[in-house]
Chain A
Amino acid sequence: MTSFEAVIGLEVHAQLLTASKIFCSCAVSVGGEPNTRTCPVCLGLPGALPVLNAEVVRLAVRAGLGTGCAIQPTSVFARKNYFYPDLPKGYQITQAELPICLDGQLTLDDGKVARIQRIHLEEDAGKSIHGDSGTRVDLNRAGTPLVEIVGHPDLRSADEAVAYLRELRGILVTLGVCDGNMEEGSLRCDANVSVRPLGQDAFGTRVEIKNMNSFRSVRDAIGYEIDRQVGLIADGARVVQETRLWNMDLARTESMRSKEEAADYRYFPDPDLPPLHLDPAWLAAQRADLPELPAARKARYQQALALDARTAAWLVEEPARAVAFDQAVAEAPALAAPFAAFLMTQVQAQLQRSARPWPELAAAMPALLATCGKWRGGQLSNKMLTELLQAAFADPARTLADALAHAAAQAGAVVSDDGALEPVLDGVLAQFPAEVAKYQAGQRQLTGFFVGQVMRALGGKADAKAITALLARKLGG
């Protein structure tokens, strides 16, 4: 059977973190009563004129700089014409021939480079709610500033598409361009997917997938679509060029509309908006103002802090997490690697079971670092640590930092002095003469067994290192 390869390009819409809309002074926010954040501009009333938000330009330029794009000294807004109830003017203001950023790239974890074709500015449409009595239109979202980041069809698998999206999200969030929340729709992703026989240069027929609102949806939808297209071709059928929606509940893509009639948007420069010129000095200042990006941060974690690749990638994936980590370990770089591993395993496990939000965790970083330090130093046993974390994360009355301090006080001290450990160890040795004989005959792996028995007798609150040392002294190490 012929082997196929997938060809995938992503179009990502990111909502910009501004206070006001792109062309008017209405507030940008989620929720609230419908049609309470509108004005003559975003309602498309005759005679109302758009005025560009300066912050939108700054954020789009940051997105471009962060993805290695060439920032265009002059860009132009255009009208994209189509009729839909949630588009009050009958056109969307976007950028067509002359977008603000061109020719960028992302480097994925495995070193692969995926090219970015362009980044352009545009306004969001309103929201349509379809019901039996008709379609209700809420225009609170109309005019929300977006950047659309258009990737080249350089991706070859669902996993690569997810890696690209994660890398892009990390950059946008680090730069403060977008909050990166896919569930709430502030980061949205459409995928163009086609398949072709391995070795063929020409692209196959392309299908656009929409409605993927999580990384998992992106992976599942693209994976499903690749299988569907390969199946069609294997059966002698043809792939139809169309838009398909991901149905998460049924785990399949479904036909939305076919593109037999190519969309005709009749783009032309918007006469209401003169060209946008960027001052070179301002642009240079923007370039100088960029923070450390995720790729550089990840490299620093591995090289300067000796983190392994997986832990470094996990920290960097959520920029707020990485920033909080950096602040916590600034004073204790030697603890960085064990603390990172501690966050990724013990703390992450608790976090997944609790409703503690990230900002609270960030505030508790110093307390977590102190807890990790005590555990590493033997002042907390494994069992005490787990119980302490469980108690702190499940304590609804206190902030996490306070709950950790409280739980630490409750946990008490670990038994580590020989005077207290020795009678317990003696009891264990008397109880297991056969194991003692084996140990003395050279089976040193029984150390764990004896430590475990002592630990059990002391309710888990003992210093394993102290027991090990005592055992070696008693039985001859």
Chain B
Amino acid sequence: MAVRVDAAMVRQVAKLAKLSVAEADLPTVARELERVLALVAVLDEVDVTGVAPLIHPHAHGLQPRPDVVHAGLTQAQALANAPAQLDGCFLTPRVVG
């Protein structure tokens, strides 16, 4: 079934993904997203009656590890790629809430 994508939906998706999309580009992006969704919608044509949902292609399931501590990174290594740091912490613009 074809999904209609309008400008408002593109705006919402862009906001959730922290992407900035110019107002002028909204109709184009909407049409592109519709085409992507139409492609995926082909799967809706497959009859899956009685087929258990496939959560993961790996048949064996998780292989947990023992609860053993190993040394990780030093503070300097952890912060090596940080654009800004302060008092041994990553520093970001102030966020509240």
Contact = CB atoms under 8 A, between A and B. Distances in A.
Interface in A141-186: none
A27 B69 contact: yes
Contacts of B79: 35
Nearest to A270: B56
A133 B91 contact: yes
B90 A139 contact: yes
A54 B78 CA distance: 26
Contact of A54 (B16, B65, B92): B65
Nearest to B64: A54
B95 to A, nearest CB: 5
B62 A137 contact: no
B63 to A, nearest CB: 8
A133 B69 CA distance: 34
Interface residues on A, range: 35 or more
B67 A136 contact: no
Given A54-B65, A130-B96, A274-B58, A35 B91 contact: no
B86 A19 contact: no
Nearest to B58: A274
B75 to A, nearest CB: 5
A331 interface: no
Nearest to A88: B90
Interface in A1-47: 18-20, 24-27, 33-40, 42-43
Interface string A121-133: 0000000111111
Contacts of A346: none
A39 B66 contact: no
A55 interface: yes
B89 A137 contact: yes
Contact of B88 (A34, A40, A85, A276): A34
A264 interface: yes
Contacts of A54: 64-67
B89 A34 contact: yes
Given A83-B18, A269-B55, A275-B56, A134 B69 contact: no
Nearest to A51: B65
B69 to A, nearest CB: 5
Nearest to B12: A264
Contact of A257 (B73, B91, B97): B97
Contacts of B93: 134-135
B90 A275 contact: no
B67 A274 contact: no
Contacts of A275: 55-56, 61-62
Contacts of A271: 56
Nearest to B96: A130
A274 B61 contact: yes
A84 interface: yes
Given A130-B95, A277-B62, A19 B56 contact: no
Nearest to A273: B62
A267 B91 CA distance: 28
B72 to A, nearest CB: 3
A57 interface: yes
Among all A-B residue pairs, the 6 with the closest Cβ atoms: A39-B72, A136-B89, A55-B67, A54-B64, A25-B70, A277-B61
17 contacts: A26-B69, A26-B72, A34-B75, A34-B88, A34-B89, A37-B72, A43-B73, A52-B62, A74-B61, A128-B95, A134-B93, A135-B93, A137-B90, A269-B55, A273-B62, A274-B55, A276-B61
Interface of B: 12, 16, 18, 55-56, 58, 60-70, 72-75, 78-79, 84, 86-97
